Structure 1
Amino acid sequence: MEFAILGTVRITSPEGRVQLSGKQRAVLSAFLLHPNTTISRERLIVALWDSPPRSASANIVTYVHQLRRALIGTALRVRTEGSGYSCDLPPDRRGARGVGAQPGSTMGVAHTRSLQG
């Protein structure tokens, strides 16, 4: 499994490149920048929209569901943690966050502000 968060966010499984929508890529970016960390639904909403639609919470649920389906066959697993989500990043991939990625960084996330408290 390979993933990239600098430039266009992409993930490749043994079967080939995983096709993701723009919002799915933004959610995946948040997870990859904050691996094995619970990210609340509210923080994902702030990360994805400057002016969230009324349906933002439901949209996040949909994007995460679609992302889970898209990640079948990869080593990434998205878990529900209370009112948020966490992406399990395998130990051998935890150092592959991207050149220059710093804790609290939001590089690669479209329309994203910091996900840190």
Structure 2
Amino acid sequence: MPALVAARPIAIWISFLGSGLSVREQAAVAWFGPKGFASVVYGLIVLGSGIAAADEVFQLVAVTIVLSILLHSSTDIVVARWFDDEREVPAWYGVAGRVRARLRGRDTAGDESS
């Protein structure tokens, strides 16, 4: 069980070394990052393998996936609020906001001159 809980965060941490992402951003990726579909495929492979415990293994995989979906979907707002701090807005966000404001200004100016 510890390997299941620790392997993903450790792999994420290693893959983001030198990326410039904060620990908080890395933690969010480790928690919500892409996963799950491979488990379905592996579970189906085991189910079709003909081994004696195939049904039990597949059921364990299915329960784990369902619990993961429930756990992650029940924490998404909590994690999103964790990032709701104006002092730590990424630099790219300010640029995007200024571009959107300029585009809105042009759209508005275009509507007034019509």
TM-score when normalising by structure 1: 0.27
TM-score under structure 2 length normalisation: 0.28
The structure with the larger Rg is: 2
